Amino acid sequence: MAHAVLWAAIAVPVLVKALAPPATSLIEGVVLDPNGLPIGGATVRVQATLVEDTSDAEGRFRLRGADSHSGFRVTAWKKGYYVVGAEARPGASDLRLILDSHAASDHPAYEWVAPKVERSAFDERQLHAALDEAAKRSLSEAFFPLAERLTLGCRDCHDALYEQWASSAHALGTRNPIFLGMYNGTDLAGNRSPPTRRARSRDYGSIALKPSPGAPWYGPGYKLDFPDTAGNCAACHLPGAALDDPYGIDPNAAGGVDTLGSHCDFCHKVAGVVLDPVTGRPQANMPGALSLKLARPPPDEQLFFGPYDDVDVGPDTFLPLMRQSQICAPCHDAGFWGVPIYESFAEWLASPYAARGETCQDCHMRPDGTTLNFAPGRGGVDRDPASIPTHGFPGAASETLLRSAVDLQVDAARAADELIVKATITNDGTGHHVPTDSPLRQMLLLVRATDDRGVPLDLISGPTIPGWAGARPASSGHYAGLPGKGFAKILRDLWTGTTPSAAYWKPTRIVEDTRIAALATDSSVYRFAAGQRPCRVEVTLLFRRVFIELAEQKGWDVPDIVMARQRLELEPP
Ligand code: HEC
Ligand code: HEC
Ligand code: HEC
Ligand code: HEC
Ligand code: HEC
């Protein structure tokens, strides 16, 4: 009983506060630089709310609509300055916000902060207890100085974001066996194909030849064809290492944070992208790091670019680019030898999604709808969950994403002794072609028709799956010649004639591109000899990560993912 009384005593005032209409207040003030000169054009905001104003030429601002729910912390930001914040009194007319500028040029001597600092379980407990304690006392005064004295990784404050990123392809770097196998010309067990034989060609000079038929072959590799150069692969796959030496980084020799692919500190040091003003796309032969402008700070300074203009703890500033597809472009839009290879950004740019302002982030960094705070207990403030992007970057390995990518419609009819099947695929969930980017990817449509005993029906007319889906009949997963279709960008190696070529570091030609563009539809019709028995139709759409022969050469275990499946049963007419 005593407990209940105590509860009521606590609960009532809270309830009253919640029911009373919050009194909104006007907050006025001025934005200045450290010399006391006014700063106009700064975005001023009641933190974590939509209440905002832009400072005028005298630096003055007025914020109307702050209330006890939103709190009265006011922040200011302008390009070139750190975000600053201060607690205001409701009704204040004299709030002063002093903006400090940050270094804008790039300092290559900067050492990356690790996403995660490895320590013993004991040290981890001690450190986090100290951080918890500091956070309780005062965030900005006690906590951040403490944080500066310790070696912290992003994970120590952004635990959930770290876990998301760590499970994404961006975190793979040199741990991706498919990437390394294609770089080195090795299979999963480490066997290496023999060095490429070369010959002189009148048109090209020294060219690579086909592998000798008798020799063991573990698939292609950049290093087999170009043993003396490191290539540009690191410009996108290990961008932190490539910044200062874009063509000189051999992934096998990378170490430390550099091996972690696109890591936290790298993306959050991006200050701009260099795109062709006419096409809006990266310039030719400027992949990844070459088209990204970074602002690594000078010694003893720190700087993070992020998507908010109201984060006033620590050395943070806002970068509108963070919310735009353009930040993805340098690594997701590039050609080799003038042939477009990675194209998701270009495809998006040409699609209705770009016109509608639906970005890569909207689909690949979608908020989870439940997270309120992305640095809980570490100085983070509660925000609208819809304003907190995630970092899982789902892609071709995500069954959930692939199942949302397209719509599959199947119609079937019996006529005389025939079965007619129509399969319609609409790319209604993908902001670019499907499949996109890596030309190793394919989508396979399998149309299986049997009678009620399971005996396959003969195809009278209609498309069949192309040879590149695997021509060996017996082995499972070789589907060439079966009723259905394949969707892929197929490259031919100009020097060796190999088709499909996965060695796009050599000159290639696109021999076909059957991928389905954003919001486009592909229909195909199949006529089967059905006799007079009941029959069954099963239409399956598969996503295949790499060409089957390449997967076999390399010993990669990359199971197909079912994107959609429809089953129908039909009685004879
Ligand atoms: C312009 C940036 C860029 C450059 C340069 C680049 N890549 Fe990539 N690479 C990517 C992106 C982005 C992906 C992911 C695309 C996807 O998943 O479809 C990728 C994916 C891959 C994959 C597929 C990995 C998997 O798990 O399926 C391989 C293999 C690969 N790259 C090899 C290379 C090699 C070898 C080089 C150098 C010859 C290279 N890449 C150069 C951006 C680049
Ligand atoms: C490939 C580039 C990339 C990498 C890698 C990356 N981020 Fe981000 N991050 C972004 C972009 C882009 C946004 C803004 C997205 C938006 O607003 O739509 C963002 C947003 C954020 C935010 C704002 C809050 C939120 O929930 O998104 C924080 C904090 C953050 N990142 C921290 C991290 C940390 C910590 C890591 C590593 C564990 C990391 N980022 C890795 C690109 C990256
Ligand atoms: C000592 C704790 C701590 C560490 C370590 C830390 N952060 Fe943060 N970070 C914060 C807090 C607190 C915020 C603000 C949270 C809020 O406003 O809700 C923040 C905000 C951010 C933002 C948003 C900035 C903006 O203006 O949009 C980015 C981006 C970010 N952090 C990236 C990183 C990256 C990358 C690392 C590692 C290199 C890192 N942080 C390490 C505590 C930390
Ligand atoms: C610095 C280069 C770089 C930037 C910037 C970058 N990416 Fe990537 N991204 C890559 C590379 C490289 C891979 C493939 C890594 C691998 O598979 O080993 C990749 C993989 C992906 C994948 C997963 C593909 C899969 O098969 O799982 C998605 C989705 C993705 N990126 C989306 C984005 C989005 C969205 C942005 C912009 C917010 C972005 N990327 C910015 C280099 C980059
Ligand atoms: C409307 C939602 C949507 C938008 C917008 C969008 N994507 Fe995707 N993306 C998807 C879906 C669904 C898939 C899975 C199907 C596929 O692989 O094509 C995907 C796949 C990918 C993959 C994995 C490809 C592979 O085979 O590994 C990458 C990389 C990627 N997207 C990058 C981007 C980039 C970069 C942008 C912006 C320029 C972008 N996406 C915009 C929905 C979207």
Q: At residue 9, does pLDDT exceed 60? A: no
**Residues 274 and 291: beta-carbon distance below 8 Å:** yes
How far apart CA 218 and CA 194 sit, in angstroms, is 9
- Could you say which ligand is closest to the alpha carbon of residue 546? 1
Residue 44, pLDDT score: 98
What pLDDT sits at residue 21? 54
Q: Using 50, 70 and 90 to split pLDDT, how confident is the model at 311?
A: very high
Which has the closest alpha carbon to 494: 78, 223, 203? 203
- In the chain, the amino acid numbered 105 is S
Instruction: Decide whether any atom of ligand 4 lies within 6 Å of the 397 Cβ.
Output: yes
Tell me the ligand closest to 169's alpha carbon. Answer: 4
Mutate to test the pocket of ligand 4, among 324, 328, 546 (most ligand atoms within 8 A of CB): 328
Q: Specify the residue with its C-alpha closest to ligand 2, atom 31.
A: 306
CA distance 306 to 77: 12
Q: Is the pLDDT of residue 330 over 60?
A: yes
179 CB within 6 A, ligand 4: yes
Closest ligand by atom to 310 CA: 3
The protein residue whose alpha carbon is closest to atom 8 in ligand 2 is 264
Q: Are 449 and 526 in contact (CB under 8 A)?
A: yes
Whole-angstrom CA distances from 219 to 215, 461, 524 are 12, 36, 34
The CA distance from 501 to 360, in Å, is: 28
Average pLDDT (182-199) is 96
416-441 burial code (b ≥16 CB/10 A, e <16) = eebbbbbbebebebbbbbbbbbbbbb
Would you place residue 206 in the very low, low, confident or very high pLDDT band (cuts 50, 70, 90)? confident
Asked whether the beta carbons of 313 and 322 are under 8 A apart, the reply is no
Dihedral angle over CA of 502, 505, 509, 515, nearest 10: 50
Q: For residue range 543-568, list pLDDT tens digits in order.
A: 999 999 999 999 999 999 999 999 99
Counting Cβ atoms within 10 Å, is residue 252 exposed (0-12), middle (13-18) or buried (19+)?
A: exposed
Residue 307 CB–ligand 2 contact under 6 Å: yes
For residues 289 and 266, the answer to whether their CB atoms sit within 8 Å is no
Going by pLDDT thresholds of 50, 70 and 90, the confidence category of residue 318 is very high
Q: Would you say residue 1 has pLDDT above 50?
A: no
Residue tagged 């908020």 (tokens): 367
The structure tokens listed for 288 are 């990844």
| Mean pLDDT calculated for residue range 51-75 | 93
User: For residue 16, what pLDDT is reported?
Assistant: 34
- For the chain, what is the mean pLDDT? 92
The CA R_g of the chain, rounded to the nearest whole Å, is 29
Distance CA 343, CA 488 (A): 13
How far is residue 59's CA from residue 37's CA, in Å, rounded to a whole number? 8
For residue 332 and ligand 1, the question of a CB distance below 6 A is answered with yes
Stretch 392-418: mean pLDDT: 96
Is the Cα dihedral 133, 139, 145, 151 positive or negative? positive
Give, in degrees to the nearest 5, the angle at Cα 273 between 516 and 387. Answer: 75
Residue 384 to residue 371: CA distance in whole angstroms? 8
Peptide bond into 194 cis (omega under 30): no
pLDDT > 90 in the chain, percent: 82
| Selection from 23, 1, 157, 17 nearest residue 90 by Cα | 23
Q: Are 326 and 349 in contact (CB under 8 A)?
A: no
Query: Is 267's C-beta closer than 6 angstroms to any atom of ligand 2?
Result: yes
Averaged pLDDT, 63-70: 88
Nearest CA to ligand 3 atom 5: 154
Interatomic CA distance for residues 536 and 41, integer angstroms: 67
Task: Return the ∠ at Cα 434 (arms to 432 and 436), rounded to 5°.
Answer: 70
Query: In angstroms, rounded to a whole number, what is the distance separating the alpha carbons of residues 321 and 514?
Result: 32
Residue 542, pLDDT > 60, answer: yes
pLDDT score of 416? 87
Any ligand 5 atom below 6 A from CB of 438: yes
Report how far residue 471's alpha carbon sits from residue 473's, in angstroms, rounded to the nearest whole number: 6
The Å distance, Cα 174 to ligand 1 centre, comes to 12
CB 397 within 8 A of CB 169: yes
pLDDT at 15: 33
Bigger pLDDT: 231 vs 207:
231
Does 21 or 251 have the greater pLDDT score? 251
271 vs 127: CA distance, rounded Å: 32
- 214-225: per-residue pLDDT in tens? 889 999 999 999
Mean pLDDT, residues 99-123 taken together? 94
List the end-to-end C-alpha distance of the chain, in Å, as a whole number: 76
Please report the atom of ligand 4 found closest to the CA of residue 330. 5
- 7 — pLDDT class (breaks 50, 70, 90): very low
Most confident of 126-135, 143-152, 482-491: 482-491
Contact between 318 and 307 under an 8 Å Cβ cutoff? The reply is yes
CA 117 distance to own-chain centroid? 23
**Mean of pLDDT values over 456-465:** 97
- Which of 66-70, 147-151, 359-363, 469-473 shows the lowest mean pLDDT across its residues? 147-151
- Distance (angstroms) between ligand 2 centre and the Cα of 78 equals 20
Cα of 391 vs centre of ligand 2, distance in Å, is 6
Q: For 398-402, which contacts have Cβ atoms below 8 Å and span 24 or more sequence positions? A: 399/561, 399/562, 402/543, 402/561, 402/563
With a 6 A CB cut-off, is 334 part of the ligand 1 pocket? yes
Atom of ligand 1 nearest to the CA of 336: 5
Name which residue leads in pLDDT, 214 or 453.
453
Measured distance CA(567)–CA(459) in Å, rounded: 18
